[in-house]
Amino acid sequence: MKKTILLVVFALGSMTAFAQSDSGFGIKAGLNYNKNGDLIGSVADAGEDIIQGSDGKVGFHVGVFGKLDLPKIYLRPELVYTMTKSSYDFDGSTNDYDISKIDLPVLLGYKIIGPLHIFAGPAFQYTLNNDLGDVEIEDVQNDFTVGLHLGAGVNLGKIGLDVRYERGFSENEANFIGNNVTDISGRVDSRPSQVIFGLSLKL
């Protein structure tokens, strides 16, 4: 939790500094198409594990950003609330796996030509909550994780459009157990793999 507070203070401080320069800050929102890792489970009295991949679903994100422009590159930290969704078919039904988290991407961008730019950087993530449908699920193994963002975008005046890919660096699992003795139990990989579509507005 202390790490999260420090990251939030860093992000807000950076954005305040950018607001005092010619670069600026703004708000952003968008949609996420997410797939988590495998679910590995077992059923009581069954002889082998069940390995189930996830189906992707659409989530969303909303947040703020700061941007420091240099001649050919820029630095852009973001502070974002994200809700991701994916689903697993097991135990005779489809269960949605919802994760809410605070993301702090720190992106380094390169201006290619005109409004077109590319960017990459680490994304520091703090998991707030995770839910797997009708089964009881524990907290994730690590609340604080690091991922990678890679993407491209265009700036049209104060409006920015971008698309990026995110991948978690390290494994991060949560254990679950069904409500009945005969239900499936096991663990699910909460590490994200997602495509993110973003719309931003410079204030």
- Please check whether residue 198 is in contact with residue 138, taking contact to mean a CB–CB distance below 8 angstroms: no
pLDDT score of 159:
95
Q: How many CB atoms lie within 10 A of CB 183?
A: 18
Domain ranges of the chain: 2-202
Which two three-digit tokens encode residue 140?
């994730």
| Backbone region of residue 181 per phi and psi (left: phi > 0; alpha: psi in -120 to 50; beta: other values) | alpha
Which parts of the chain are beta strand (E)? 25-36, 39-43, 50-52, 55-66, 68-69, 73-90, 93-113, 116-132, 136-137, 144-156, 159-168, 173-177, 184-189, 192-202
Burial class (CB within 10 angstroms; exposed 0-12, middle 13-18, buried 19+) of 174: buried
**Mean model confidence pLDDT for the chain:** 80
Residue 97 has pLDDT above 50, yes or no: yes
pLDDT score of 148:
93
pLDDT score of 92:
67
Collect all residues with Cβ–Cβ distance below 8 Å to 197 and sequence separation of at least 6: 30, 31, 32, 33, 162, 163
Reduce the DSSP state of residue 4 to 3 states and report it.
helix
| Backbone region of residue 186 per phi and psi (left: phi > 0; alpha: psi in -120 to 50; beta: other values) | left
Distance between CA 82 and CA 63 in Å, rounded? 9
- End-to-end Cα separation, the chain, in angstroms: 30
Alpha-carbon torsion (146, 149, 155, 160), positive or negative? negative
| Backbone region of residue 121 per phi and psi (left: phi > 0; alpha: psi in -120 to 50; beta: other values) | left
% of the chain at pLDDT higher than 90: 41
pLDDT score of 9:
46
Domain 2-202 fold: Porin (2.40.160)
Say which range, 23-37, 48-62, 142-156, has the weakest mean pLDDT. Answer: 48-62
Collect all residues with Cβ–Cβ distance below 8 Å to 107 and sequence separation of at least 6: 75, 76, 77, 78, 119, 120, 121, 149
pLDDT score of 50:
61
